[in-house]
Chains A and B, each alone.
Chain A
């Protein structure tokens, strides 16, 4: 036990202070960004993401044919593992408030819960944007090494590919956050996020009548065009939008309602 101290005179005096302003959304977002990295779980998740990206590029430098050691080929493969792990960060950002019961403090300090939720969403979106920058940086490093060691080292990349990467990561992390908001329980949300769309994909393959709808609802299928360097067609955008409406927008809306109404204890 720690030593006790007598309360210093005046130290707990209720002060009359100038009218206080409510914390800005910018401030709340900064707090949420800090929460992402100030626990071991969050920090290691981010470190893991960085390591995986670096390992993928290193493996390519060793094993890929020289002609294939291009900026695009270093960049694209890193998107998939990050795309799986980042949403977990989004889920934890939302659900750990409930599992660790910090919601009691968070929502006592900011009783307008929707502002906290918006700040969390902004924080995870910023993180996913940063992840694309990290992918680009690692790919650039790989390309530099490749050109020094006899690989192709081609720098050419379509701007649309970067845009697609941004869409992929941002929607992924928002989908994770949406599942977190809806289920409010870390294991349930993570399993739900990873399993439900996959399960849906399997069902779409096996059950013939579902094959049609699954073309529009299975995110692993609708998001696939984002990985290719071909331009995404209008219909492909449409399918993407429909699948995101079901897996991202609806859970976000329902989850927000649930979070706002839930009793914090």
Chain B
């Protein structure tokens, strides 16, 4: 469980994070979405006690991060896969963490194995690791203390498609067993595939949050007919707003209402489907496009 309440961070007059509130429940994966510089990393650092908030507070499992007696056993954190000592081996990096948390040395081998870093890779210095391998090492570090909460900043970065698929399964499994996952990304597809809930941030403010399905349902319906003009008249008659799109007309209503309107007017449809058009991607672009759209959404 992660609770973020009115978290704000100002650097000088510029607010990097502005009055951000959301909650991550056990058993769910929350996707934290936003373009670069939107305030995702700053928010996550504030949750983890690494950056002091200007205002507001955040708790993990009911405690402020700094009050957690042994945070690694409660929260697994991966904020930057590159933040490893280049001169240490992967195994050594994990051994230091395991010893700090008071874990059995065997956990190191188990977690290296889990993330797919074999014995050869574990003995190499992190300097020689690819970004993908660093992400795996970082994930092993986050999972090391068998935490109940995971906070991961752009964990898919640098992973190959197979690795992304693997990580998706891992996080889903973790949440299905009662874990709480907060994962940030600007890779929308990645989040769409694994998240239950979405928190979208732009310019330091939350512009949308809710269940993934609810948010995606706002995408509308795509409809196309041979006689485009007749279709538009039919929709107008039914009181449905339609907008032109390259694939046909985009209607802010569900497929049933659109189909009924067309049938009532006797218009033959060539296509009728939920507008995916990158689903989340479109939502995401709209929500973070500019100040005016942001105001419209709020």
Q: Which residue of A lies closest to B70 (CB)?
A: A20
A40 touches B87 (CB 8 A): yes
What does the 1/0 interface line of A1-13 toward B look like (CB < 8 Å)?
Answer: 1111111101111
| Min CB–CB distance B250 → chain A (angstroms) | 39
The interface centre, meaning the residue of B100, B141, B169, B170 with most chain A CB atoms within 10 A of its CB, is: B100
A258 to B92, CA, bound (A): 29
**A5, A30, A34, A109: which contacts B113 (Cβ < 8 A)?**
A5
- Size of the A side of the interface (Cβ < 8 Å), in residues, is 48
Q: Are B97 and A105 in contact (CB under 8 A)?
A: yes
Within 8 Å CB of B178, what residues of A? 13-14
Inter-subunit contact A34/B99 (CB<8 Å): yes
- Distance in Å: Cβ of B194 to nearest Cβ of chain A: 13
Contact assessment for B50 and A264 in the assembled complex, using a CB-CB cutoff below 8 Å:
yes
Among candidates A20, A38, A102, residue contacting B74 with C-beta atoms closer than 8 Å:
A20
Q: Is the CB of A11 within 8 A of B116?
A: no
The residue on B at minimum CB distance from A19 is: B69
Known: A21-B69, A34-B96. A108 touches B170 (CB 8 A): no
Q: Is the CB of A109 within 8 A of B101?
A: yes
A265 is an interface residue with CB less than 8 A from chain B: yes
Which one of B41, B87, B148, B170 lies within 8 Å of A41 (CB-CB)?
A: B87
| Interface hub of B85, B117, B160, B170 (most chain A Cβ within 10 A) | B85
Once A12-B170, A102-B84 are accepted as A-B contacts, the answer to whether A265 and B45 lie under 8 Å apart by CB is yes
Residues on B with C-beta less than 8 A from A102 are 83-85
Give every chain B residue within 8 A of A20 (Cβ-Cβ): 69-70, 73-74, 102
Per-position contact with A for B9-31: 1 when CB-CB < 8 Å, else 0?
A: 00000000000000000000000
Interface: B174 (CB within 8 A): yes
With A12-B173, A101-B82, A109-B71 already in contact, the answer to whether A3 and B50 are too (CB < 8 A) is no
Residues in A neighbouring B72, C-beta threshold 8 A: 108-109
**A86, CB-defined interface residue at 8 Å:** no
Q: Is the CB of B49 within 8 A of A111?
A: yes
- One of B45, B77, B88, B174 near A12 (C-beta < 8 A): B174
In chain B, positions 7-63 with a C-beta closer than 8 Å to chain A are 41, 45, 48-52
Whether B100 and A28, one on each chain, are in contact in the complex, defined by CB atoms closer than 8 angstroms, is yes
Given A1-B133, A263-B50, A263-B52, check contact A27 B114 (CB 8 Å). no
Which A residues between 1 and 55 are near B, CB-CB below 8 angstroms?
Answer: 1-8, 10-15, 17, 19-23, 27-28, 30-31, 34-35, 38-41
Write out the residue numbers on chain B whose beta carbons fall within 8 Å of the beta carbon of A101. 80, 82-84
* Residues in A whose Cβ lies below 8 Å from that of B92: 38
Whole-angstrom distance between the Cβ of A105 and the nearest chain B Cβ: 7
Given A30-B99, A100-B86, A4 contacting B162 (CB threshold 8 A) = yes
- Confirm or deny: A76 has a beta carbon within 8 angstroms of a beta carbon on chain B: no
Q: Which residues from chain A contact B41 at a C-beta distance below 8 Å?
A: 265
The answer to whether B147 touches A39, judged by C-beta atoms less than 8 angstroms apart, is: no
CA distance A11 to B100 in the complex (A): 21
B132 close to A (CB within 8 Å): yes
Minimum CB–CB distance for B21 against chain A, Å: 22
Task: Assess whether A65 is interfacial by the CB under 8 Å rule.
Answer: no
- Minimum CB–CB distance for B114 against chain A, Å: 5
Who on chain A is nearest to B178 by CB?
A14
- Are the C-beta atoms of B84 and A100 separated by less than 8 Å? yes
Q: Is A110 close to B, CB under 8 A?
A: yes
Q: List 10 additional A-B contacts (Cβ < 8 Å) besides A2-B118, A4-B166, A100-B83.
A: A2-B133, A3-B118, A6-B166, A12-B173, A13-B146, A14-B149, A15-B146, A23-B101, A107-B49, A263-B50
A-B contact list, 16 entries, CB within 8 Å? A2-B133, A2-B136, A5-B116, A12-B170, A14-B146, A21-B70, A38-B88, A40-B87, A102-B84, A109-B72, A109-B100, A109-B101, A111-B48, A111-B49, A263-B50, A265-B45
Q: Which 5 A-B pairs have the closest CB atoms?
A: A101-B83, A264-B50, A39-B87, A14-B148, A22-B69
